[in-house]
């Protein structure tokens, strides 16, 4: 029996790639196990967005360099970035495969099984997207669907265009067919995925763009919630807001990474929009009757970022009042245009800026979340906190809402099977910076 173990680092695209890899391997007779010790094949699906992320996989490989009789494989963004150098750094690795070569993964494994030795899949020269009917999803209610792979934006700091190759959209019909299949299997929430979903164009009919696909996906019978990540502000058109306005099933939450509040820094980052252009999009979103929540990504300490540039980012946070912010210290990445700009901002200064920004955002989030006290929100129930006995749900704005249910007449309590996957109305009674708490307003 061929047993495999896989550990996944990085973004949602990587998580979903792993689901597809797992499905592909299971189809070939492999069985997933949950510790590397039990496995014949140990795979790491890696991320190289920041240096720290990249270091993790080399730590892992170092930990098990003496393991005998196993095949080690590195997949994903570090695989693509470092290529065959990985074989030198970690000689026990026998398989290195970038995401653009996953359609060949099965063949590469056969090559190793039959011939011993090593195999690499590192070509980025492809128009294909990685699709398989065998995707193995763990979450029974919420499913990812890839709509576009790769990235052509070349932001100055970013490795993704080098690790995931050029932009390629999946066929419109194929996306919608997967949405219908998932609905048929009982999924009620889908999340459309891509590094830049709004660059989507149907390869068979380039007139068909992201807004249309989002609307068509939102009208899939049985689907109650549609999310999408990530949007690049440059290509974020008004038509997307119109689709959100018209379709209750499109969640009222948008992730719109800004990276910096300073137009000067945005230009140095090659983001292709100014602060004002970004703010115009925020105004469209804020003007929507759907009460759209906003989240973003921010990098502090990009080369040349002055204290004044940083203050502009802080002011932007105040102006937009994001519901969630993912913030990072700038990390120099190999081969990127920004690599040549050096890395002048000292580590301690980056840490100070990050801490100040996070403190400010914590207060903003507390304020935003407190504004929801007293409202009734629909949640999708997806967990149970054993220690507090509270159910864990998510609102359409993607806030975590922990809640209790009204006592039953006979004193019994609802079971997990009854509760998970249900949509319930919950009154918000308390708010913290990262979550809400409340009570279900109907008997369950
Ligand atoms: N395609 C998405 C981003 C994917 S990477 C987009 O354009 O929004 C996720 C986030 O990681 C980025 O938004 C950015 O904030 C951060 N990031 C990317 N490269 C980085 C680097 N070199 N150093 C620090 N953060 C980085
Ligand atoms: Fe990276 Fe920019 Fe592409 Fe996002 S849009 S993946 S930040 S190059
Ligand atoms: Fe990381 Fe690659 Fe995603 S670098 S963030 S896993 S696209």
Return the pLDDT at 247. Answer: 98
Whether 436 and 319 map to the same domain: the answer is: no
> What is the reported pLDDT for 1?
63
pLDDT of res. 100: 93
Nearest atom (ligand 3) to Cα of 78: 4
What CATH number is attached to the domain comprising 415?
A: 2.40.50.140
Phi-psi category of 118—alpha, beta or left, where left has phi over 0 and alpha has psi -120 to 50? beta
Q: Which of 284, 309, 427, 296 is nearest to 364 (CA)?
A: 296
Q: Where are the beta strands (DSSP E) in 230-368?
A: 253-255, 293-300, 324-329
Domain holding 135, by residue range, is: 128-370
**Contact (CB, 8 A) for 58 and 36:** no
Alpha-carbon span 333 to 161, nearest angstrom: 12
Instruction: Tell whether ligand 2 has an atom less than 6 A from the beta carbon of residue 154.
Output: yes
Q: Note whether 146 and 250 are same-domain residues.
A: yes
Q: What CA–CA distance (Å, rounded) separates 179 from 193? A: 13
Domain boundary among 370, 400, 422: 370
Residues 384 and 355 in one domain: no
Cβ < 6 A, ligand 3 pocket: 10-11, 13-14, 47-49, 76-77, 159-160, 163-164
Between the CA of 82 and the centroid of ligand 2 the distance, in Å, is: 19
Q: Give the pLDDT confidence score for residue 64 in this predicted structure.
A: 87
Quick one: which atom of ligand 2 is closest to the CA of 230?
4
The per-residue pLDDT for 270 is 98
Residues 191 and 53 in one domain: no
Question: What is the model's pLDDT at position 68?
Answer: 85
3-state secondary structure of 354: helix
Nearest to 436 by CA among 375, 363, 360, 359: 375
Q: What is the pLDDT of residue 272?
A: 97
pLDDT 10s per residue in the chain (444 long)?
A: 699 999 999 999 999 999 999 999 999 999 999 999 999 999 999 999 999 999 999 999 999 888 888 999 999 999 999 999 999 999 999 999 999 999 999 999 999 988 878 999 999 988 889 988 889 998 899 999 999 999 999 999 999 999 999 999 999 999 999 999 999 999 999 999 999 999 999 999 999 999 999 999 999 999 999 999 999 999 999 999 999 999 999 999 999 999 999 999 999 999 999 999 999 999 999 999 999 999 999 999 999 999 999 999 999 999 999 999 999 999 999 999 999 998 889 999 999 999 999 999 999 999 999 999 999 999 999 999 999 999 999 999 999 999 999 999 888 889 999 999 999 999 999 999 999 999 999 999
Count of structural domains, the chain: 3
**76/17 Cα distance (integer angstroms):** 9
Q: What is the CATH number of the domain that holds 95?
A: 3.40.50.12160
Residues 173, 215: one domain? yes
- Find the ligand nearest to 313 CA: 1
Query: In sequence order, what DSSP letters do the residues of 133-170 get, joined into one string?
Result: TT---S-SSEEEEE-EE------TT--HHHHH-S-EEP
299 alpha carbon – ligand 1 mean position (Å): 8
Give, in order, the Cα–Cα distances in Å from 269 to each of 47, 154, 273, 440. Answer: 21, 9, 10, 46
Q: Same domain for 265 and 160?
A: yes
Residue 255 pLDDT: 98
Verify that 223 and 173 share a domain, yes or no: yes
CA 389 from centroid of its chain's CA atoms? 29
Residue 223 and residue 305 in one domain: yes
144: domain CATH number is 3.80.30.20
Pair 201, 325 in one domain:
yes
Which has the closest alpha carbon to 433: 384, 378, 360? Answer: 360
Distance in angstroms (rounded) separating the CA atoms of residues 197 and 231: 6
Give the model's pLDDT for residue 113: 86
Q: Does residue 226 share a domain with residue 174?
A: yes
HSE at residue 377, side-chain half, CA atoms within 13 A, is: 31
The DSSP secondary-structure symbol of 48 reads -
Closest by CA to 40, choosing from 81, 4, 75, is: 4
Whether residue 217 is found in the same domain as residue 337: yes
Of the residues 121, 151, 171, which one is the last residue of a structural domain? 121
Q: 387 and 357, same structural domain?
A: no
The residue from 65, 91, 121 where one domain ends is 121
- Best probe residue, ligand 3, of 8, 17, 45, 47 (max atoms within 8 Å of C-beta): 47
Classify residue 228 by burial, with Cβ atoms within 10 Å: 0-12, 13-18, 19+: buried
Q: Where are the alpha helices (DSSP H) in 302-425?
A: 307-320, 347-370, 416-419
């Amino acid at each position: 029996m061929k047993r495999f173990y896989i550990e996944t680092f990085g973004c949602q695209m990587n998580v979903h790639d792993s689901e597809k890899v797992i499905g592909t391997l299971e189809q070939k007779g492999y069985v997933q196990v949950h510790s590397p010790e039990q496995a014949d094949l140990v795979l790491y699906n890696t991320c190289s967005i920041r240096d720290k992320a990249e270091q993790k996989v080399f730590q892992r490989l170092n930990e098990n360099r003496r393991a005998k009789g196993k095949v080690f494989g590195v997949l994903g963004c570090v695989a693509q970035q470092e290529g065959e150098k990985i074989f030198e750094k970690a000689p026990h690795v026998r398989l290195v495969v970038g995401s653009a070569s996953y359609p060949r993964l099965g063949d590469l494994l056969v090559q190793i099984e039959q011939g011993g030795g090593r195999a690499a899949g590192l070509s980025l020269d492809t128009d294909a997207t990685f699709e398989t009917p065998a995707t193995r999803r763990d979450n029974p209610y919420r499913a990812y669907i890839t709509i576009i792979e790769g990235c052509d934006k070349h932001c100055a700091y970013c490795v993704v265009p080098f690790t995931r190759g050029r932009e390629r959209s999946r066929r419109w019909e194929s996306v919608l067919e997967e949405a219908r299949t998932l609905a048929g299997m009982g999924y009620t929430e889908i999340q459309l995925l891509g590094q830049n979903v709004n660059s989507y164009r149907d390869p068979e009919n380039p007139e068909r763009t992201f807004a249309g696909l989002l609307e068509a996906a939102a009208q899939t019978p049985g689907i109650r919630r549609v999310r999408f990540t990530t949007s690049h502000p440059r290509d974020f058109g008004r038509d997307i807001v119109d689709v959100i306005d018209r379709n209750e099933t499109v969640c009222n939450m948008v992730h719109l990474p800004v990276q910096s509040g300073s137009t000067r820094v945005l230009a140095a980052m090659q983001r292709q929009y100014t602060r004002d252009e970004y703010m115009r999009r925020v105004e469209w979103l804020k003007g929507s009757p759907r009460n759209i929540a906003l989240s973003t990504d921010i990098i502090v300490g990009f080369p040349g970022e002055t204290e004044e540039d940083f203050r502009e980012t802080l002011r932007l946070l105040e102006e937009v009042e994001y519901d969630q912010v993912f913030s990072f210290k700038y990390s120099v990445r190999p081969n990127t245009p920004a690599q040549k700009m050096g890395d002048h901002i000292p580590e301690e200064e980056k840490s100070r800026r990050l801490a100040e920004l996070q403190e400010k955002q914590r207060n903003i989030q507390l304020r935003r979340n407190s504004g929801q006290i007293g409202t009734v929100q629909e949640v999708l129930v997806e967990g149970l906190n054993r220690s507090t006995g509270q159910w864990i749900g998510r609102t359409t704005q993607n806030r975590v809402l922990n809640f209790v249910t009204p006592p039953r007449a006979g004193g019994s309590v609802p079971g997990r099977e009854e509760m998970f996957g249900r949509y319930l109305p919950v009154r918000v009674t308390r708010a913290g910076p990262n979550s809400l708490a409340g009570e279900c307003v109907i008997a369950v």
